[in-house]
Amino acid sequence: MNSPKHITRRNFLKKSFFVGSSVGLAGSLIAGSAFPVSAKEKIQNASAKSGKPVKFAISSYSFWHFTDQKVPIEVAIDAASELGVGGVDVLHRQMESEDTAYLNKLKRYAWLNGVDLINLSIHQDFVDPDPKKRQEAIEHTKHCIKLAYKMGIPSIRLNSGNWDTVESFDKLMELRGQEPPIEGYTEEDAFKWCIESTKECVPTAEKYGVVMALENHWGISSTPEGLLRIVNGVDSPWLGILMDTGNFLEDPYDELEQIAPKTMLVSAKTYYGGGVWYSLDLDYKRIAKILENVNYNGYVTLEFEGNEDAHTAVPKSIKRLRKAFGQ
């Protein structure tokens, strides 16, 4: 896929269309209860129906699928602003720098465009028999929590990690995200490492007020049972689930239902132009109902992963999600 050209407000308006507007973070706080519920209680209590609509966001990944030339984070902010979308999920590897000046520039740019930076999607790997490498992943996670704090971002995306016994990501996708353990080790080892490593990050998350959201992202977190085993094993209000609608592959709805009660953030995949690695025909009305049934009213983040130009695919995707969620 060719990287899209920078989106100016005028050009994006010509290519896009407005379909209502999302409620920003500040607005949701003002409209919320005067007696806030703890994060753990909100995740676990799915009994009451609030009737509040979900909020929409756009992942900066939608404009850059790890091709050679990076697309600036500002492109996603521009798109969100023009489409009346409330937030942007920032892909850590897409950032130009970690310097304070750059972080502040992004914060200011988002603020002036009426957009919240809602999540920092990071890459780390807790599945490694080498304690030194696991510690490096722990320190990287803590570092990214602090980065999110500096940027005013309230959550980070976590992975469980992979065995890295498959030679490439393309091959891993051919294997549907499954890979054999390193010889001499088992998945029991991997779960132990992941739970222990994540627990070490909890005090930093609590100190800086940044929630960790574990994604169903291949490896030991590629099944609902594996994902829930990790989250329940850590057992902290500072860890929940990031539901990726496209990572359970065939007929995902029963699996999405299993993780919905502990979901605190949603990534909604679309594949216009055919998927970069695969395509799914996802029923977003059905997914919206699954989330409604557990009283989810957080962010639903568009994660466009198709080959169509993002200039046209992102507006179409947002329109599709708004329709599915009754907005």
pLDDT of residue 22: 38
The answer on 185 and 299 residing in a single domain is no
Considering only CA atoms, which of 212, 290, 293, 303 is closest in space to residue 252? 290
Q: Is 209 left (phi over 0), alpha (psi -120 to 50) or beta?
A: left
Please tell me whether residues 237 and 128 are part of one structural domain.
yes
* Stretch (H or E) spanning 89: strand 87-91
Is there a domain that residue 289 lies in?
Answer: yes
Residues 68 and 109 grouped into a single domain: yes
Tokens of 156: 């980070």
Number of helices (H) and strands (E) in the chain: give both, helices first: 12, 8
Q: Distance between CA 49 and CA 303 in Å, rounded? A: 27
User: Considering the domain boundaries, does residue 7 fall inside one?
Assistant: no
SS3 label, residue 116:
strand
Output the domain CATH number for residue 21: 3.20.20.150
**Are 64 and 163 found together in one domain?**
no
Write out the chain's pLDDT in tens, 327 residues.
444 434 444 344 334 433 333 333 333 333 333 334 454 454 444 334 446 899 999 999 999 999 889 999 999 999 999 999 999 999 999 999 999 999 999 999 999 999 999 999 999 999 999 999 999 999 999 999 999 999 999 999 999 988 877 777 677 767 666 788 889 999 999 999 999 999 999 999 999 999 999 999 878 998 999 999 999 999 999 999 999 999 998 789 999 999 999 999 999 999 999 998 889 999 999 999 999 999 999 999 999 999 999 999 999 999 999 999 998
9 within a domain of the structure (yes/no): no
**162: CB partners within 8 A, 6+ apart:** 125, 127, 172, 179, 218, 219
**Would you say 305 and 33 are in contact if contact means Cβ atoms under 8 Å apart?**
no
Residue 223 lies in a domain: yes
Q: What is the pLDDT of residue 160?
A: 93
User: How far is it between the farthest Cα atoms of the chain?
Assistant: 58
Domain count for the chain: 2
Q: How many residues does the chain have?
A: 327
Task: Tell whether 46 is covered by a domain.
Answer: no
Instruction: Report the amino acid identity of residue 151.
Output: M
Q: Which helix (H) or strand (E) covers residue 147, if one does?
A: helix 131-151
Assess whether 103 and 63 both reside in one domain: yes
Query: pTM of the predicted model, to two decimals?
Result: 0.83
Residues 127 and 219 grouped into a single domain: yes
My answer on whether 145 and 78 are in the same domain is no
Token pair listed for 105: 């520039």
Question: How distant, in Å, are the alpha carbons of 30, 70, 76, 142, 217 from that of 130?
Answer: 47, 32, 37, 19, 22
Question: Which of 176, 209, 244 marks a domain boundary?
Answer: 244
What letter does residue 198 receive in the DSSP assignment?
Answer: H
Does the residue 322 lie in any domain? yes
Q: Is there a single domain that holds both residue 232 and residue 308?
A: no
Kindly state whether residues 238 and 250 are assigned to the same domain: no
User: Based on the domain organization, do 208 and 256 belong to the same domain?
Assistant: no
Q: What range defines the domain where residue 280 resides?
A: 17-31+52-121+246-260+271-327
The CA-atom distances, in angstroms, between 19 and each of 56, 155, 323 are 12, 27, 9
131 with 231, same domain: the answer is: yes
> What phi, psi does 18 have (nearest 5°)?
-95, 135
Q: Are residues 173 and 220 in the same domain?
A: yes
Please report the pLDDT score of residue 177 as a whole number.
66
DSSP 277-318: S------HHHHHHHHHHTT--SEEEEEE-BSS-HHHHHHHHH
